[in-house]
Amino acid sequence: MPKIITFLAVGDLEETSAIGRYWPMAKELDKRGFKINCVALHHDYKSLHSKYFVKDNINIFYVGQMSVLKTGNKKYYFNRFKLLLIVFASTLKMLLKAISLKTDVYYCFIPQPVNGLASIICKLIKRKPLLVDCDDYEASSSKLTPFLKLFFTFFENNLPKFAERITHNTFFIKDHFIRLGLDPNKFIYVPDAADIDRLKIEDADKVETIRTKLGLENKKVVLYFGSISLNFGHSVDLLIEAFPLVKKQVSEAKLLITGGGDSFDEMKALASNLCKDDIILTGKVPLDDFKYYLRLGYLSVDPVRDHISNKARYGIRNAESIALGIPVITSDIGDRREMLKDGKLGLLVKIGDEKALAEGIILLLKDQSMRAQMSKNCLESIKTHNWDNFVNKIIAQTPCLQDCS
């Protein structure tokens, strides 16, 4: 009889937390004979036609609205009263669904008020082990009011105390919790890794079709893909401001920005003012098409400033670039030096400096042999940096999963 793990997540399958964490983890656990239920919130819950389905042998239950509403390239924030109603309703529905499912282990991803409270109650009532995965520091968000920051911080800081094991993707997160008094032996370091199956392409001609559509033939494409939301440390403005300097040195360079967020219109206007014909903002692309756009890049850029969220965030988009042999340019904050293997998989430039960022991009675009060696190193690295190895590590260090396997 397969043992059952119930995931409790505040994001749906299109969210970074799913793409970079719980979905590939769920698939690997399924391969090892576990049965996985995923109880989650959705970014546009009312638009769903089906709130339960099975994908890749995993049961998905969408039970409520996320704390933000996402439609197209836009992200909408609820007022305090509406948000409290949503949090209350989503918490209740997540709790009722999770507690109704036969479960041997609960696994909470990104502890927040909704899944945090549901996880604690499920653990206490069902008397089952609880695992917690921390891959971000939500309380650092500047979009939260002081009251909500306190609310989020309380759950982020206290839920892990109830866990048998805590998986984490950066050393910053582990150090944060150890300072709060948690046992260091509870932690398992699991950095973000690419879902290789998701990145496989079925139509090789589609890459060239998109390249032609965007006018990128014979261009050296600098790629940024991910959230366009300056409030969470994604400093795409730094990259846009650096790009005119790149164009002066590399005439065939083009900047392709793929993704949506609450700063999309602002960044589109900035790009138009600085380098209109050489910066393309696609907006959010279909999840299934993302892997084709990624293959257009000579290199990808993770522009960052010295912000606490960048210390806590590993960067799934960087991991996906590396998995396809695309070198990454970023800065030495958080675990990024470890991620790039001290510069073997990309370049580390001065943080928050558009001139330094431009110089790094120019160097890598011009030096073909350096880029080729980094690409080779990237592909070599994923032989060990993959979800197969990471899930084996989680099981080996988690007694309640050993009992289940």
255-294: pLDDT as tens digits: 999 988 888 899 999 999 998 789 999 998 888 898 999 9
| Domains detected in the chain | 4-193+386-404 (3.40.50.2000), 197-381 (3.40.50.2000)
Q: Are strands 105-109 and 4-9 parallel, antiparallel or unpaired?
A: parallel
At residue 244, the pLDDT reads 96
CA distance linking residue 71 with residue 203, whole number of Å? 27
Q: Which two tokens stand for residue 2?
A: 């397969």
Q: What is the mean pLDDT of residues 147-168?
A: 86
**In 148-229, beta strands by DSSP E:** 165-168, 187-189, 220-225
Rama region for 283: left / alpha / beta (φ>0; ψ in -120 to 50; rest): left
- What's the distance, Cα to Cα, between the start and end of the chain in Å? 10
| pLDDT single digits (tens) 59-85 | 999 999 998 888 876 778 888 888 889
Which of the two residues, 232 and 169, has the higher pLDDT score? 169
Q: What is the mean pLDDT of residues 314-339?
A: 94
Residues 6+ apart with CB under 8 A from 152: 112, 113, 138, 139, 141, 144
Percent over 90 (pLDDT), the chain: 73
At residue 140, the pLDDT reads 60
Q: What is the mean pLDDT of residues 341-350?
A: 96
At residue 385, the pLDDT reads 95
- Per the document, the length of the chain is 405
Stretch among 145-159, 230-244, 329-343, 356-370 having the lowest mean pLDDT: 145-159
Q: What is the mean pLDDT of residues 16-29?
A: 92
Q: How far is CA 131 from CA 32, 83, 149, 194, 306, in A?
A: 18, 27, 23, 22, 30
Q: What is the mean pLDDT of residues 182-210?
A: 93
Stretch among 195-199, 295-299, 313-317 having the lowest mean pLDDT: 313-317
At residue 185, the pLDDT reads 95
Please answer whether residues 283 and 265 qualify as being in contact, where contact means their C-beta atoms are separated by less than 8 angstroms. no
Residues 6+ apart with CB under 8 A from 38: 6, 7, 9, 22, 26, 58, 59, 60, 61
Q: What is the mean pLDDT of residues 364-368?
A: 96
pLDDT confidence band for 150 (50 / 70 / 90): confident
Taking the whole predicted model, whether its pTM rises above 0.95 is answered as no
Q: What is the mean pLDDT of residues 204-220?
A: 94
Which of the two residues, 13 and 147, has the higher pLDDT score? 13
Looking at the predicted structure, is the pLDDT value of residue 142 above 70? no
Q: What is the CA radius of gyration of the chain?
A: 21
